[in-house]
Amino acid sequence: MKDLMIDLETLGTTPNAVIIQFGGVFFDRYTGELFNELKLNIDAESSVNHGFEMDAATVEWWMRQDKAAIENVLAETRYNVMTAIQLIKEFIRPAENIWSHATFDFVILQNHFIKDGTKLNYFAARDIRTLEDLAYGVNRPLKSAGIRHTAIDDCKYQIAYCVKCFNKLKGT
Residues facing 24 on adjacent strands: 6, 38
Please, which contacts does 119-122 make with residues 24 or more away whose CB atoms are closer than 8 Å? 120/92
We report the CATH number of the domain holding residue 128 as 3.30.420.10
Residue 142: band (very low, low, confident or very high) from pLDDT cuts 50, 70, 90: low
Q: Which residue has the higher pLDDT, 6 or 121?
A: 6
pLDDT at 136: 87
Q: Which domain holds residue 55?
A: 3-170
Q: Which residue has the higher pLDDT, 142 or 99?
A: 99
- Measured distance CA(63)–CA(70) in Å, rounded: 8
**Predicted TM-score (pTM) above 0.75:** yes
Per-residue pLDDT reduced to its tens digit, 37-79: 999 999 999 999 999 999 999 999 999 999 999 999 999 999 9
Per-residue pLDDT reduced to its tens digit, 163-172: 999 999 999 7
What size, in residues, is the chain? Answer: 172
The total of structural domains in the chain comes to 1
